[in-house]
Structure 1
Amino acid sequence: MKFWNHGLTALSLSVMLVAAGCGSSTGSEGNNNAGYSSSSSTGASANTEATEKLEIKTSFYPMYEFTRHVAGDLANVENLVPAGMEPHDWEPTAQDMAAITDADVLIYSGAGMEGWAEQVLDSATGSGLKAIEASHGIELMKDAEEGHEHGEEAHGEEHEHEDGEHAHEEQAHEGEGHTHDEGGHEAEGHEESGHHHDHGGLDPHVWLSPALAVQEVRNIEKGLSEAAPQYKDQFKTNADAYVAALEALDKDFTAALKDSKRKDFITQHAAFGYLAKQYGLTQVPIAGLSPDQEPSPSRMADIVKFAKEHNVKTIFFETLVSSKVADTIANEIGAQSAVLNPIEGLTEEELADGLDYIKVMRQNLEALKAALNE
């Protein structure tokens, strides 16, 4: 049920969709929320039997997971990207656009991760949709690929960059859970469609640092409290419980990685820059921010050289894309390949096994510990 009466007719929505040109060849078919819907969560919640629940759409798995913990029983939370689908490859269909516009709240990470967000929010203007950008106010890093693409060393020691140099261009903007008409800050270049996604030169993978995940959860809490202020206390109680679990995860990462033998690790996808920076590590990505990006032959040669010189024994790949690039390098240097999961989405099998963000992050920690102490 719509939390606000925005008065859109089916005809006016159709006109907006046509004007926005929202058709997509990469949109999902049927039930987009397979494996990703929840009307309840662990944590404190009010008795909602006679309470109208918020209808919330989330952009991809981490946003779904964070939101359901904050919202608890006060919302129906549905994810837009289906289980097992790489979110970089997803774009909304007309059906998705209508579902978003009819929701009370859309929660997305931002920082250029959801290249479709600007178009969707433009189409929803006047609908009363509350848009919460979870990464708002977080200092963003530049694309690590820019720093090493033509360099002779693959080590990428400059990936972290100087503090403050790449601050979020709207960091001074008050109100992290802002609505779209207050001014979004998606990176430029999102009008392109297809499988190549321009993040505007910024790294959107902030959720892979548990410390930054805490900030995203707090932004979600703030935005939901603005959307339904009568439930502010419940949202805070739920968020506090989940933040405590994230802070414990952060402490475990710090303790486990501070004394590792090596500080660099090779990944197929440049998704772990924030995690590396948080724990004093160096990510050495084979390719760039988009997981389907193919590395150049010179980049492959640089990685092989670096791996041999530094006696690297593990090349990391991820679950939702092909591991052929990582496997090629591993075979070349006599190393093994292993999973380091960017948690952009879980498969149906992972969901059936009861995995979630914190459990997968603990798997990542074990994988890093093993690789950094070989």
Structure 2
Amino acid sequence: MLRMWTASAALILTGAVLLTGCGNDKSEGKTSGSGEAKLKIETSFYPMYEFTKQVAGDLADVESLIPAGVEPHDWEPSPKDIAKIQDADVFVYNGAGLEGWVDQVLSAADGSSLTVVEASKGQDMMEGTEEEDHEAEEAGHDDHDHGGLDPHVWLSPVRAVQEVRAIEAALGKADPDNKETYKANADAYAAKLGQLDQEFKSAFAQVKRKDFITQHAAFGYLAKDYGLEQVPIAGLSPEQEPSAEQMAGIVNFAREHKVKTIYFETLVTSKVADTIAKEVGAETAVLNPLEGLTDEEKAQNLDYIGVMKQNLEALKKGLNQ
């Protein structure tokens, strides 16, 4: 779960402000092929980086704050990271409570010329389950959960398009001279996402079953948009431990519905999924929430669309057993 900011965060922010004061001016930096200064863009984690890079093309220097292989739910920025945000032209984050540190950081940057993009803003958001909210309260995490909202909109291709469009609009505002280029780039990427959306629709139209068990409740939007039912073992945070009652309920569901695959994810341990799979005689498979590419995935030149196609194949196999 996301950790609550304390007095130590204020010290981090103070240090970041001092670092920013000593940093480079925003007008400095690399230039595009046309000789114009490139935008400096900081993004929170991988999907925001990928979507922004696709829209920006070679007109911006785009960085991801959260490094490869790091699970983003509990990551917190260092003073250097905060200074990067404050020194950027544009900052892109998902929102809906995923990046629990954002409000504190942006309040410190208030009054700057930073263009801020909450990519999920304006979407029809889903709420977490009552069980997840109850567990968060019992664990004392009511101040650092997702605010009751499911932030994982990027895992539905059709909703990913909406995030891309939000980024396009912001880059056009920050750099109006290149607005048409950003639009053309966004159009091209949206077309690829549209094709991915059609592949998902076609694949799930004729599957034998509609329900799938996941270790982490990250695939609610994907399930909703393609007529499926996600049955999560735990809640919105991958670190949330299921209760004994939840475990028993999942085991009973798996047996009753003859589930043959239990999905776990990259970046976190698969022990809970392994335990349930062993109990019911099922196999396990990866369903990647794309919260950060591993070094191995990067070495394979995988990207958002490539990983989502892997997810599609993994789901299609499980739903046809």
TM > 0.5 fold call: yes
In the TM superposition, residue 47 of structure 1 has moved relative to its aligned partner by 5.9
SS at match of 2:117: strand
1:92 equivalent in structure 2: 77
Q: Which residue of 2 aligns with 1:142?
A: 127
Q: Is 1:128 aligned with 2:113?
A: yes
Going from structure 1 to structure 2, the CA distance change for 1:97 and 1:47 (only over 3 Å counts) comes to closer
**Hey, what does 1:321 align to over in structure 2?**
268
- Rounded Cα–Cα distance in structure 1 between residues aligned with 2:40 and 2:133: 43
Could you say which residue in structure 2 is the equivalent of 1:31?
A: none
Deviation at 1:214, TM superposition (A): 0.3
The answer on whether the counterparts of 1:81 and 1:87 sit within 8 Å (CA) in structure 2 is yes
TM norm structure 2 = 0.88
- Report matched runs for 1:211-226 at 5 Å: 211-226=158-173
1:145 Cα offset (Å): 5.2
Does residue 1:111 correspond to 2:96, yes or no?
yes
Which secondary structure does the structure 2 equivalent of 1:92 belong to? Answer: coil
Distance 1:310 1:334, change over 3 A: same
1:65 lines up with 2:50 in the alignment: yes
Shift of 1:126: 1.6
Work out whether residues 62 and 357 of structure 1, in 8 Å CA contact, stay in contact via their aligned partners in 2. Answer: yes
Whether 1:266 and 2:256 are equivalent positions in the alignment is: no
Q: Structure 1: which 5+ residue stretches go unaligned?
A: 1-16, 24-38, 41-45, 151-188
Change in Cα spacing, 1:119 to 1:257, as seen in structure 2 (3 Å) is same
Structure 2 residue 38 is the aligned partner of structure 1 residue 53 = yes
Match of 1:235 in 2: 182
* Poorly superposed stretches of 4+, deviation over 2 Å: 17-23, 46-49, 144-150
Higher mean Cα deviation, 140-149 or 347-356?
140-149
Tell me how far 1:19 sits from its aligned partner: 8.1
- Please tell me whether the aligned partners of residues 155 and 222 of structure 2 are also in contact (alpha carbons under 8 angstroms): yes
Opposite residue 214 of structure 2, the aligned amino acid is T
Normalised to the residue count of structure 1, the TM-score between the two structures is: 0.76
- In the alignment, what sits opposite 2:25? none
- Name the aligned partner's letter for residue 110 of structure 1: G
Unaligned runs of at least 5 residues, structure 2: 1-6, 14-28
Q: CA deviation at 1:48?
A: 2.7
The one-letter code sitting in structure 2 at the alignment partner of 1:315 is: I
Matched residue, 1:287 = 234
Distance 1:200 1:85, change over 3 A: same
Given candidates 47, 54, 77, the residue that maps to 2:62 is 77
1:334/1:148 Cα in 2 relative to 1: closer, same or farther (>3 Å)? farther
Deviation at 1:149, TM superposition (A): 7.2
Structure with more helix by fraction = 2
- Provide the C-alpha distance between the structure 1 equivalents of 2:169 and 2:155, rounded to a whole number of angstroms: 21
Q: What's the CA shift string for 1:157-199, capped at 9, x where partnerless?
A: xxxxxxxxxxxxxxxxxxxxxxxxxxxxxxxx9xx99xx9410
Give the match for residue 251 of structure 1: 198
Counterpart of 2:282? 335
Structure 1 equivalent of residue 21 of structure 2: none
Aligned-residue RMSD, C-alpha: 2.3
Displacement after TM superposition at 1:147 (Å): 7.8
- Structure 1 pair 143/18, CA: closer, same or farther in 2 (3 Å)? closer
Match of 1:311 in 2: 258
Q: Taking every aligned residue pair, what percent have the same amino acid on both sides? A: 64
Counterpart code for 2:148: G
Measured against aligned partners, the alpha-carbon deviations of 1:42-67 in whole angstroms (never above 9, x if no partner) come to xxxx9634110000000000000000
What residue identity is the alignment partner of 2:287? L
2:291 to 301, 326, 344: 344
**Aligned counterpart, 1:209:** 156
Provide closer, same or farther for how the CA distance between residues 147 and 295 of structure 1 changes in structure 2, counting only shifts above 3 A.
closer
Q: CA deviation at 1:144?
A: 3.1
Deviations 1:102-156 (A, max 9, x none): 1111000111111111011001112211111101110100003548979xxxxxx
Amino acid in the other structure paired with 2:262: I
The 3-state SS of whatever aligns with 1:128 is coil
Give, as a single letter, the amino acid of the residue that structure 2 aligns with 1:61: Y
Deviations 1:232-277 (A, max 9, x none): 0000000000000000000000000011110000000000000000
